[in-house]
Amino acid sequence: MNHKIIRTITALTAATALLTTACAAEPEKGPMAEAVWVKDQWANAADTGMAAVFGSIANTGAREVRIVGGTSPQAGTVEIHEVVADDSGAKTMRQKEGGLAIPAGEARELIPGGDHLMLMDLTEPLLPGADVEVTLRFEDGSTLPVTAQVRDFAGGNEEYAPDGHHHGDEGGGGHHHG
Amino acid sequence: MVERVSRRRFVAGGAAVLAGAGLTGCATARSAAGAEGFGTATEPFFGPHQAGVATTPQAHALFVALDLAPQPGRSVRDALEAVLRLWTSDAQRLTQGTPALADTEPELAQRPARLTVTVGLGGSAFDRAGLSHLRPPTLSDLPAFRTDRLEPRWCGGDLLLQLCADDPVAISHAARVMLKNVRSLTRQRWRQAGFRNAHGADRSGATMRNLMGQIDGTVNLRGDAEFDRLVWDDGAGAPWFAGGTVMILRRIRAELDTWDELDREAKELVVGRRLDTGAPLTGTRETDEPDLTATVDGIPVIAPNSHVALARPRHDGERFLRRPYNYDDPPPPGQTTDSGLLFATYQRDPATQFVPVQRRLADADGLNPWITTIGSAVFAVLPGVQPGQTLGEALLR
């Protein structure tokens, strides 16, 4: 685990170096990515389709940050999803409007059954024990690369919203690894 | 109503415990019942050696052997690397009381009770992963011993997962997490659970008593110098293995029904030690050196074919670490008991340390009619890791 943190720190440092000059005019409003820590990140295994990424994201800065998307070499697109209960109590998963906002000094947990990142249209299988690279994109355009360990996970099998553009039976659950 | 009854019973139980502590005048009994308990105690994970070898033995142990069984399209070597990456992450968190990643029962991780995770590789793992050239020369199969009655269901394995803790709940949780995380990469081969006296039931560091009633493991390694010389590999045979050790796990069934037929004097003669104190028949304390030359009316006090006489190392290089646990499993239909010893030993080189002693015992030990070795496995316990490293990293690099 710790090497993941170290890699995240390294990535943070690199991002800082790249972005410091661009924002020299407003040092108190540095890039959002610079204020953010990601830890305990992991992704669920999937052969095809999509896979979720979970973890803890902390905003150590003095203003709200907002994650609006991301990229991954192992996925077509990266979306931010939420899980909501309908009137009948059934939980469905859908894209989170406006992305994920984290108030200053607070942290948000990306957990099965809650908010999470979704790797869409996997370009290769995510196998247990391997790593997946994900770069978070913030509202201000700054980015934060993180490395998540892939794990076999049976939970978080919420249905997709009927109007969603995803296929609810396509990966994500990881049951096929059992 | 039910609540009131159980509350009264609880209070009464508490009073009984306090009274017991008062009678024996044992101060530690009270501190052990403190608010925190021993569940929050931890053993370090990082270091030159894996924990669970030199660690003061915990009360409970689980040994699980697995075979690498990757899904189609994934190589055995890739699967091995994936298992070690997942287990390194899980072990460093769970042993420190932190839930594993993707832990579905995180509350169960919060009281590790000195949980240690120890990972080893069987010789077959090196061959199957294309790493035969890196197999430590000391990791060789044991020769067949005359008294072995080995059952395949307790033998071999590509991977060993050894979990030890003072609380069996911590072991169950760690086992569930670590085994399900590798379920698409491995197949379980065997699983052996063992125990010693419960935590706090005996003074710390006391030699355990096995289920035949004998104090077991009196002569053992002590101190860093002995471990460095006799347990930890120095990398001479395979540089990546420096800091590792070779572990042998023998499942030794106790034939308790026939053991019952012996009187105490005969039992003590067979072993060469007294049952009550563990002292050699020539001494008065457990730690007294057995005097193998002592005779009474020309007859040796300690019989030359007693367990003590034959198990005694003939020279320093025949010593090794013993870290055994009792087992007591459901017997086959029609039998009363299936119990014995999970005889776990750790040594730099089994061929020069374990094998000569075991050969002497197999050939002549007076205890042989009452013990039967039914399982045997040998593993290379991987060197320890520092933060940021993965178990087996030096092997797979």
Which region among B55-59, B72-76, B111-115, B343-347 has the lowest average model confidence (pLDDT)?
A: B72-76
pLDDT of residue A161: 60
> What pTM does this model have?
0.86
In tens, the pLDDT along A84-125 reads: 988 888 888 899 999 999 999 999 999 999 999 999 999 999
Look at A37-41, B68-72, B77-81, B139-143 and tell me which has the smallest mean pLDDT. Answer: B68-72
CA gap B172, B105 in Å, rounded: 11
Mean pLDDT for A38-42 is 97
**Nearest CA-CA distance, residue B101 and chain A, Å:** 6
| B314 vs B13 pLDDT, higher one | B314
Residue from A53, A152, A157, A175 to probe the interface with B (highest B Cβ count within 10 Å): A152
Q: Which domain holds residue A78?
A: 2-151
The complex scores an ipTM of 0.83
Q: How confident is the model at residue B207 (pLDDT cuts 50, 70, 90)?
A: confident
Question: Tokens 């050969």 identify what position?
Answer: B359
CATH at A126: 2.60.40.1890
CA dihedral (B53, B58, B62, B68) positive or negative: negative
CB proximity B180 to A under 8 Å: yes
Residues B271-300 pLDDT 10s: 999 999 999 999 999 999 999 999 999 999
For the residues B251-269, what does the mean pLDDT come to? 97
Residues of B in contact with A39 (CB under 8 A): none
Contact (CB, 8 A) for A56 and A36: no
DSSP-based three-state secondary structure for B21: helix
Q: Out of A2, A40, A178, whose CB is closest to B387? A: A2
Contact B184 A40 (CB under 8 A): no
Task: For B82, list phi and psi in degrees, rounded to 5.
Answer: -65, -45
Kindly determine whether residue A128 and residue B388, on different chains, have CB atoms separated by under 8 Å. Answer: no
Q: Inter-chain contact A151–B82, Cβ cutoff 8 Å?
A: no
> Do the Cβ atoms of A132 and A146 come closer than 8 Å?
no
**Range with lowest mean pLDDT among A155-164, B120-129, B201-210:** A155-164
- Between residues B324 and A176, which one has the greater pLDDT? B324
Question: Do β-strands A65-71 and A131-138 pair in parallel, antiparallel, or remain unpaired?
Answer: antiparallel
> Nearest-CA distance from A143 to chain B in Å?
24
Strand partners for B339: B328
Instruction: Copy the structure tokens of residue B387.
Output: 């933060």
Over range B181-201, report the average pLDDT.
96
Residue A49 lies inside a defined structural domain of this protein: yes
Q: Calculate the dihedral angle through the C-alpha atoms of B136, B174, A57, A152, rounding to the nearest 10 degrees.
A: 80
Cβ of A149 and B86 within 8 Å? yes
A-B contacts (CB, under 8 Å):
57
Provide, as residue numbers in chain B, all residues whose Cβ is less than 8 Å from the Cβ of A127: 74, 82, 184
Closest B-chain CA to A176: B184
* pLDDT per residue as tens digits for the range B40-69: 999 999 999 999 999 999 999 999 999 999
Q: Catalytic residue at B228?
A: no
Q: Which of A160-164, B166-170, B303-307, B373-377 has the lowest mean pLDDT?
A: A160-164
Q: What pLDDT shows up at residue B36?
A: 79
Chain A residues with CB under 8 Å of B182 CB are 128-129, 152
Domains held by chain A: number? 1
What DSSP designation does B6 have? Answer: H
Look at residue B192 in the predicted model and tell me its pLDDT.
Answer: 98
Three-class secondary structure of residue B13 per DSSP:
helix
Q: From residue B207, give the alpha-carbon distance in Å to each of A90, B3, B204, B225, B322.
A: 57, 42, 9, 21, 11
Please give the Cα distance from B40 to B113 (Å, whole number). Answer: 6
Q: With bands split at pLDDT 50, 70 and 90, how would you rate the model's confidence at A28?
A: low
> In this model, does residue B183 exceed pLDDT 70?
yes
Neighbouring residues of A113: CB distance < 8 A, sequence distance ≥ 6:
A83, A91, A155, A156, A158
Catalytic residue among B216, B233, B349, B365: B216
- The pLDDT, as a whole number, for residue A159 is 64
